């Protein structure tokens, strides 16, 4: 199908298809994540044990090791937070209220963690799909108009 498109429209078609696939994947993954953590209803306090900070192109990444107690046993997990600006590392040493599944205490949900999907990516992918589809259709129409004039 893409080979039948005018040359100028092909690149927009490819970008539109890729961004549409990203939008669908992100949306489905977000829905899956939501439903798989819907059973996290018990609120507990997680204590920060260790924090590391690194800097890369996406910003400052803080990796925090948390522990919490539930049902007489200790549980631990790692959370990742990404910010555009640097923060005092002591900010991440504070305790966090998290939600856990009382039937499976190792399953947890923590707000602001990178593991919670950011809807901005989904919005950008959908917008890119719409824009590229529009540009592709415009190129196709321009090509048709060019052939009608001849």
Q: What is the mean pLDDT of residues 121-128?
A: 80
pTM over 0.85: no
Instruction: State percent of the chain over pLDDT 70.
Output: 89
Beta-bridge partners for 59: 56
- What is the rounded CA–CA span in Å between residue 116 and residue 40? 13
Gyration radius of the chain's alpha carbons: 23
Between 29 and 16, name the one with better pLDDT.
16
The answer to whether 11 and 138 have CB atoms below 8 angstroms apart is no
Q: What tens digit of pLDDT does each residue of 48-97 get?
A: 999 999 998 878 888 999 999 998 999 999 988 888 888 888 888 888 88
Tokens of 113: 């963690």
Q: What tens digit of pLDDT does each residue of 8-27 get?
A: 788 888 888 888 888 888 77
- CA triple 71-101-24, angle to 5 deg: 160
Asked if the model's pLDDT at residue 132 lies above 90, the reply is: no
């Amino acid at each position: 199908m893409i080979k039948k498109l005018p040359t100028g429209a092909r690149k927009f078609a490819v970008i539109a298809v890729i961004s549409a696939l990203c939008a669908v994947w992100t949306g489905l993954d977000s829905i899956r994540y939501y439903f798989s953590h819907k059973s996290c209803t018990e609120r507990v306090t997680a204590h920060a044990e260790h924090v590391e900070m690194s800097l890369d192109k996406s910003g400052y990444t803080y990796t925090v090791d948390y522990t919490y107690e539930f049902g007489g046993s200790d549980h631990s997990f790692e959370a990742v937070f990404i910010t555009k600006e640097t923060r005092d590392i002591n900010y991440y040493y504070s305790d966090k209220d998290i939600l856990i599944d009382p039937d499976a205490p190792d399953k947890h949900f923590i707000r602001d963690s990178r593991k919670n999907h950011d809807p901005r990516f989904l919005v950008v992918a959908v917008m890119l799909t719409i824009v590229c589809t529009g540009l592709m259709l415009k190129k196709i129409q321009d090509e048709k108009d060019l052939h009608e004039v001849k």
